[in-house]
Structure formats: C-alpha cells, structure tokens
Amino acid sequence: MTPERRRAVGVVLGVVAGMVACALLGWWQLERHLDRAAQVGLITDNLDRPAEPLAELLPGEDLAAGDVWRTASVTGEWVDSSGVQLRNRPVQDANASHALALFRTDETPARVLVVDRGWWRQTDVVPDGALEVPGSGPTTIEVRLRAQEDLDSRPNPAGEVFRVHPVSVLEQSGLAAGDLDGELVESAYGMITDPPPSGVLGGLPDPDTSLRSHLSYALQWWFFGAALPVGAVIIKRRGDAEVAALAQEAQEARAGADGGASPSGARRPARRRRTSMEDEEDALLDAAEAAERAARDVERVTPGR
C-alpha cells in the first residue's frame, strides 16, 4: 500500500471514529435531557398536589420514588436539643448552612423525622438561635418529602453533617436512639414549608425546574459529527490544490533551468509567480510613495504656488 493510500485510510478511520464519538456523546446528553425532563415533570406535578398526612405518603420505611417532593402534614413535637448544622448547601447562589432538627410524630407507634428548618449565610460562627428548635408542645407542620442522601466520605465535625443522612444527623445531635421515644425514619427527610422559618433562618426555595442545556449539547455534538466528513473533504481538496500548485511550480522551475524549451522546441511562456501577502503590501507602499512624490512635483510646477 502506497503512503498516499495509507494516509487516506487513516483519515477515513479518524473521521469515522470522530463521528461515532460525537454520536455517542450526543446520545448521552439526550439521555440526560430526558432524565431531567422526567424529574422536572415529577417535581411540578407533586408540588401542585395538596398536602396529605405523613402516614399516607410514608406508611412504611421506604419513600416511593413517585412521592418525592410531595407535601406531607405531620403532627407531633420537636425533639429538644436535636439541632444539627448542614454545611455547604448553597441557596440561590449563596454559600449557606441549614438548620436540621428531629420531629417526633404523634403516630402509634411514634416515628422521628429529620426536618430541614431553614438556612443562613454560612460563616465561621453559627448565628444565635439558628439551631434552637421551636418551643415544646404539640404542633403541626408541613414538609416536602425528600429521599435520604448518601453518606459523605468526609468525617462529620461535631454537631455538623455534609449530607442529610438521618442516622448521621442523629449521631451528630448527641442523642441516642433510646432518647427519641420513637423510631427514626431513615429513608427520607422533610423540608419545612409551613410554618415558614423565622428569626435568623431564611425560607427554603422551590426546587429548580429548568431543563438545563443537555438538549443543546446533544445537538451540538451531532452537528460536529456531521461536519467532520465535510471538513475532511474540504481539507483534502485544499491539500490536493496545494500539491498540484507546488508540482506545477517545480515543473516550471525545471523547464526554466533547461532554457524554457518545451518538448516541441517552442519556448514556453513563463508562468507568473503568485504574489504573496508581503509582495502585495510592498506594492501598495511603493504606490503610495510614488503618488506622494507626484503630488509634490505637481505642487512645485503649478503657477501661483
């Protein structure tokens, strides 16, 4: 196989590999778009549904995937001294910490739910009252149910967590399971919506329902894949034109070295050398200087000057 043929095969294989890679990346972004669209649909549907008792939405231990972001009504009381700081959880592009606490339901048997009570701008010092639970006594709250988060690989500092993992929250509260007078809900937690946070705590925002840019990225990858063979053809044609021009110049140079005679004995006309950008710039400068000299000459010979 000649070097030219090997080069052509390599280019074709490279273009095919690039097209396959672009197609797969576009498909990956499309799948992310479809997953995000499904998540947004679930969020918007569940946020519009009325609140229902926790016992109906979470009758057992596991929270159903279709009930995430549902609003649950919970009656019971806050567990004293159960405040825990959730660190590094941004809110509206602000670096924030959240106040977590335990809420004991009045169900039989009672259960204990981790509740996100609100947030504050994260600083080195916890604001006064941020982790103090509301007054004791029966009360009713409404929360949006969320699935528990996976454990963080980092060790939790005392009184703080990086993820809403109910067992970790209980550990960092300094309480033991026997102090709860109820069974800890481990598969889910709640984000309070009513009553709204007060004092130093800010209200929790609605979830993000934007579809983001996955579909745009998918279309871009597919466009790149479709453009690869077109670009390869354009580059190939330009390369062929350059090679042909160089070959023609070499042939003319050899003919000039032989006296410029053609095979039939007639002298071939010299091919005009292609001007470069530098030659064109020099020509423009020479023309400008010549025009300036001519203007000065005219000025000298003109009467009345």
Q: pLDDT digits over 100-117, tens only?
A: 999 999 999 999 999 999
110 and 32 both lie in a single domain: no
pTM for the model:
0.72
- For residue 23, is it within any domain? yes
185 and 227 both lie in a single domain: no
189 and 218 both lie in a single domain: no
Dump pLDDT digits (tens) for 85-95: 999 999 988 89
pLDDT at 275: 47
112 and 83 both lie in a single domain: yes
- Tell me the mean pLDDT in the region 72-91: 95
pLDDT at 1: 77
pLDDT at 65: 93
User: Where is mean pLDDT largest: 100-104, 233-237, 253-257, 260-264?
Assistant: 100-104
169 and 227 both lie in a single domain: no
Determine the Cα–Cα distance for residues 143 and 71; give it in Å rounded to an integer. 5
pLDDT at 300: 55
pLDDT at 34: 97
- For residue 56, is it within any domain? no
User: Percentage of the chain surpassing pLDDT 70?
Assistant: 84
pLDDT at 274: 47
**Domain limits for position 166:** 70-194
29 and 144 both lie in a single domain: no
Parallel, antiparallel or unpaired: strands 96-105 and 111-121: antiparallel
Q: How confident is the model at residue 250 (pLDDT cuts 50, 70, 90)?
A: confident
**Site of tokens 């701008």:** 121
Determine the Cα–Cα distance for residues 133 and 130; give it in Å rounded to an integer. 8
Question: Which is more confident, 52 or 124?
Answer: 52
Cα distances (angstroms) measured from residue 187 to each of 9, 11, 146, 190, 223: 57, 54, 9, 11, 43
pLDDT at 185: 96
- Tell me the mean pLDDT in the region 39-52: 95
At position 258, the amino acid (one-letter code) is: D
Question: Which is more confident, 5 or 68?
Answer: 68
Q: For the chain, what is the domain count?
A: 2
- For residue 97, is it within any domain? yes
- For residue 256, is it within any domain? no
pLDDT at 278: 57
Q: How confident is the model at residue 164 (pLDDT cuts 50, 70, 90)?
A: very high
Q: Which residues pair with 111 in a beta bridge?
A: 183
133 and 160 both lie in a single domain: yes
The mean predicted confidence, pLDDT, of the chain is: 86
pLDDT at 4: 78
Among 232, 261, 287, the domain boundary falls at 232
Residue 182, pLDDT > 60, answer yes
For residue 284, the SS3 value is helix
**CATH at 184:** 2.40.50
42 and 144 both lie in a single domain: no
pLDDT at 25: 97
Kindly give, in sequence order, each residue whose CB lies less than 8 Å from that of residue 176, ignoring residues fewer than 6 positions away: none
- For residue 40, is it within any domain? yes
Please tell me the least confidently modeled range out of 6-20, 80-94, 285-299.
Answer: 285-299
Q: Which long-range contacts (CB under 8 A, 24 or more apart) does 194-202 make?
A: 194/141, 194/142, 195/141, 197/117, 197/118, 197/119, 199/129, 199/130, 200/120, 200/127, 200/128, 200/129, 200/130, 201/99, 201/117, 201/118, 201/119, 201/120, 201/130, 202/91, 202/118, 202/119, 202/120
- For residue 249, is it within any domain? no
92 and 189 both lie in a single domain: yes
23 and 75 both lie in a single domain: no
pLDDT at 272: 47
146 and 95 both lie in a single domain: yes
- For residue 41, is it within any domain? yes
pLDDT at 297: 58
